Structure 1
Amino acid sequence: MKDFLQDLRVQRWDDHRYYHHSRINQTLHLISAISFLLAYALVFTDPAMAALVAWLVSMLSRQSGHFFFEPKGYDEINQATHEYKEEIKVGYNLQRKVVLMAIWALSPLLLVWQPDLLGLIEPHADWRGFAHNVGLMWFAVGVGGLIFRVLQLAALKDLRTGLVWASKILTDPFHDIMLYHKAPLYLLRGQLLDPGHKVG
Structure 2
Amino acid sequence: MNEFLRQLEIQRWDDHRYYHHSTINQSLHLVSAISFVVAYGLLFIDPPLAALLAWCVSMTTRQAGHFFFEPRGYDHVNEATHEYKEQIKVGYNLRRKVVLMAIWVLLPLVLWFDRSFFGLIAPSTDLWGYARDVGWLWLALGAGGLVFRTVQLFFLQGVTTGLVWATKILTDPFHDIWLYHKAPLKLLRGQLIDPAHGRRPAR
What TM bracket, shorter-length normalisation? Answer: over 0.9
**C-alpha distance in 2, partners of 1:199/1:33?**
20
* Residue pairs, 1:110-189, within 5 angstroms: 110-189=110-189
1:128-182 CA-to-partner distances (Å, cap 9, x unmatched) read 0000000000000000000010011111111111110000000000000000000
For this pair of structures, how many residues does the alignment match? 200
**C-alpha distance in 2, partners of 1:158/1:87?**
17
Q: In structure 1, what residue type is equivalent to 2:12?
A: R
TM-score normalized with structure 1 length: 0.98
**C-alpha distance in 1, partners of 2:186/2:113?**
47
SS in 2 for 1:116: coil
1:107-136 CA-to-partner distances (Å, cap 9, x unmatched) read 112212321223432211011000000000
SS in 2 for 1:145: helix
**C-alpha distance in 2, partners of 1:162/1:120?**
30
* Residue pairs, 1:69-108, within 5 angstroms: 69-108=69-108
Q: Which runs of 5+ in 1 are unaligned?
A: none
Q: Which runs of 5+ in 2 are unaligned?
A: none
**C-alpha distance in 2, partners of 1:94/1:3?**
28
What's the C-alpha RMSD, in Å, of the aligned pairs? 0.9
Q: State which drifts further: 52-61 or 119-128.
A: 119-128
**C-alpha distance in 1, partners of 2:116/2:80?**
48
Cross-structure match for 2:20: 20
SS in 2 for 1:125: coil
**C-alpha distance in 1, partners of 2:137/2:191?**
39
**C-alpha distance in 2, partners of 1:119/1:159?**
35
TM-score normalized with structure 2 length: 0.96
* 4+ long deviations beyond 3 Å: none
- Aligned sequence identity (%): 66
**C-alpha distance in 2, partners of 1:199/1:55?**
30
* Residue pairs, 1:52-67, within 5 angstroms: 52-67=52-67
**C-alpha distance in 1, partners of 2:101/2:39?**
18
**C-alpha distance in 2, partners of 1:87/1:38?**
33
